[in-house]
Amino acid sequence: MSIPLYQVDAFADEPFQGNPACVCLMDRQKPDSWLQSVASEMNLSETAFVWPTDELFHLRWFTPVAEVELCGHATLAASHVLWLAGRLDAKQAAVFQSLSGKLTARKIGDRIEMDFPSNRPVEVSAPDGMLESLGIVNPVFVGFGASDVVVQVESESIVKQLQPDFRALRNVDVRGVAVTAVSESREFDFVSRFFAPRFGIDEDPVTGSAHTMLAPYWSEILGKTELRAFQASTRGGCISVRVDGKRVFLGGHAKTIFSGALLV
């Protein structure tokens, strides 16, 4: 039996921007080894596996080498596909059960807004070797969230010019690192880049989960609850963020690149 498969550019205003994710629409759960094999075959930063149960959907995310507990761009892609494929009416919310609890996504015009738990980073000393592998000398702030580290630097130009030593960073005991600064453009409030070589992703194009840390952090610094963010990877991507207590709402667009069927 064939399994529908989609590739979607998430947090993308146009095709071939943002972060590509694979979405696999299943009718039931599959063994973990099979899920990991499919994700390795797709070879994207994340593959989302979705299957229905009762009144919601189960959702799991895999990189080419491991499962992760939260992925924003693949959740956006999965929601988009459920509406696209007619599994949900456009007026219905997409409700997922995941390793990060219940997650919800809704269509607001042509944009999708996701409801995630807030994950404000707590200031810590930088893990051994991390700053050296990033090429950062004097960080403004280093903080740890649930799985990742946030590093604020002095300027957007520093963020954009970073050339990390990914082999060295792979040996640092963190899932990923978000490097961020205030935006130099009036269009955005802050910019960032995200690196996760330990999970098979040297640089992630646009990282929704990182913004569950960045949103509350910058909200407090800038005194705003609604912000516009830009992830300054080669592909680039825009994320609207809204902070409401212990929840963070991440918004963006999704573009379907192709669809097909998995035959194994």
Of 80, 91, 11, 1, the C-alpha closest to 45 is: 11
> How many whole angstroms from its chain centre is CA 104?
15
CA angle 128, 133, 135 (to 5 degrees): 115
Of 83, 106, 112, the C-alpha closest to 12 is: 112
Say whether 154 is catalytic.
Answer: no
Virtual torsion, Cα 170, 12, 2, 70, nearest 10 deg: 40
Distance CA 106, CA 38 (A): 27
Q: Catalytic pick from 46, 113, 156, 203? A: 46
Q: Which class for 54: exposed (0-12), middle (13-18), buried (19 or more C-beta within 10 A)?
A: exposed
On the CB side of 131, how many CA atoms lie within 13 Å of its CA? 16
Task: Please name every residue paired with 149 in a beta bridge, in sequence order, or none if there are none.
Answer: 144, 177
Task: Please name every residue paired with 178 in a beta bridge, in sequence order, or none if there are none.
Answer: 150, 194
Active site residues: 46
